[in-house]
Amino acid sequence: MNELYPGIFCNEITLPKNPLRSLNCYLIPSEKRNLIIDTGFNQEECKNDFLSGIEELKIEMKKTDILLTHLHSDHIGLASMAESMGAQIFAGVNEREAILSSDSDEYWQFFYPLMKMYGLEKYGVTVEDHPGYRYRQEKLRECGSLCEGDIIQVGDYSFEVIDLPGHTFGQIGLYEQKNKLFFCGDHVLDNITPNIICWDIRKDALGAYLASLRKIYDYEIDFLFTSHRKIIRDHQRRINELFAHHDERLAECESIISEIPKCSCEVAAEMKWDLKVERWTDFPKAQKWFSAGEAMAHLEHLVYTDKAERIKREDVIYYLKKSKNE
């Protein structure tokens, strides 16, 4: 257990057989109420690490609040276990309902049309292959709502809730202005780029993400506490790198669809990925989910910026670059 800043500890939760490797679970003890940020998958190895952390710091769960930065299973998977131990659970108001229902089969029905839109069916990929489904939380009874501007007081720290849509539609972060601290979930990560997927073609997920990056760019931040990998000390440098990355991705996608319409999977198969396999067809099924979703987020942004058009064939969406004359 590392004390990263006075009274702020990081419990590294192992994520077995996952490219992310681990989750940074932050613990902030205080006399009145403790705060824990995110939990890990609903997986035995994660449970052991989580419980070891609260035992080491002698955290009393009945006076502990769990803040879930967003609805992905590596962040909320153990929320119901923490609740059963007496903790109170909180999440952003825009994701509260989804988090409360994320254990149910009805919630995961949403992913079937998404799977078809991506074009994943012909590659034998199913909803059951999604790690979020495999390691989802058990039934959560209650979840409090947090809105932008809400203040969470933990000891001497005063955290302001900040909306950060993009990585998910309702991700939140915590900003401590006095000490220039920011807990950002998966909004900005060091060494790896947050996965931005299309969750709904009625919304521009990548556009929302880029706007959220611009939103915090001028914040005074000395320590950016990320959910994976290292703490970031120069958030503007990293955000500039992320802007450049997505500009390159957009140009890559636009080039791929310049001649004939292609679906998200076909585009993903031609994109460059930092995985140790030669062909996209050799990707693990979970990575096919993430890569196809990321391809579609970029393709949809091209649609929203009037550089591409959608062509629907049965349940699959194809994309074609718009000609300059259109």
pLDDT-wise least confident of 93-102, 185-194, 220-229, 271-280: 271-280
Q: How confident is the model at residue 13 (pLDDT cuts 50, 70, 90)?
A: very high
Q: Is 100 part of any domain? A: yes
Mean pLDDT of 286-304: 96
% of the chain exceeding 70 in pLDDT: 99
Q: 325 pLDDT exceeds 80?
A: no
Q: What pLDDT, on the 0 to 100 scale, is given for residue 323?
A: 85
Asked whether residue 227 is assigned to any structural domain, the reply reads yes
The model's confidence at residue 180, banded by pLDDT at 50, 70 and 90, is very high
Which residue bears the tokens 């131990």? 85
Collapsing DSSP to helix, strand or coil, 2 comes out as strand
C-alpha 150/C-alpha 70 separation (Å) is: 16
Domain that holds residue 129: 2-249
Mean pLDDT over each residue of the chain, to the nearest integer: 95
Per-residue pLDDT at 274:
85
pLDDT beyond 90 at 289: yes
Torsion of CA 261, 264, 269, 272, to 10 degrees: 110
CATH of the domain at 32: 3.60.15.10
322 within some domain: no
> Is residue 235 predicted with pLDDT exceeding 90?
yes
pLDDT confidence tier of residue 326, bands split at 50, 70 and 90: low
Percentage of the chain beyond pLDDT 90 is 89
Instruction: Judge whether 294 lies within some domain.
Output: no
* Averaged pLDDT for residues 63-76: 97
Residue 221: count of CB within 10 angstroms of its CB:
22
pLDDT in tens, 123-179: 999 999 998 998 999 999 999 999 999 999 999 999 999 999 999 999 999 999 999
Q: Which range has the worst mean pLDDT, 67-81, 111-125, 184-198, 246-260?
A: 111-125
Q: Find the helix packing angle between 235-256 and 285-304, rounded to 10°.
A: 90
- Lowest-confidence segment of 10-14, 35-39, 278-282, 319-323 by average pLDDT: 278-282
CB-based contact 321:254 (threshold 8 Å): yes
Structure confidence at residue 122 as a pLDDT band (50, 70, 90): confident
Identify the pLDDT of residue 278.
81
Total structural domains within the chain: 1
Inform me whether the pLDDT recorded for 17 exceeds 90. no
pLDDT number for residue 218: 98
Burial of 277 (0-12, 13-18, 19+ CB in 10 A): exposed
Using 50, 70 and 90 to split pLDDT, how confident is the model at 3?
Answer: very high
Judge whether residue 233 has pLDDT over 80.
yes
Cα dihedral value 281, 286, 290, 295, nearest 10: 20
The span from the CA of 110 to the CA of 107, in Å, is: 6
Band of residue 200 on the pLDDT scale cut at 50, 70, 90: confident
- Does 280 fall in a domain? no
pLDDT above 70 (res 312): yes
| In a domain? residue 83 | yes
Q: Tell me, yes or no, whether 96 lies in a domain.
A: yes
270 domain residue, yes or no: no
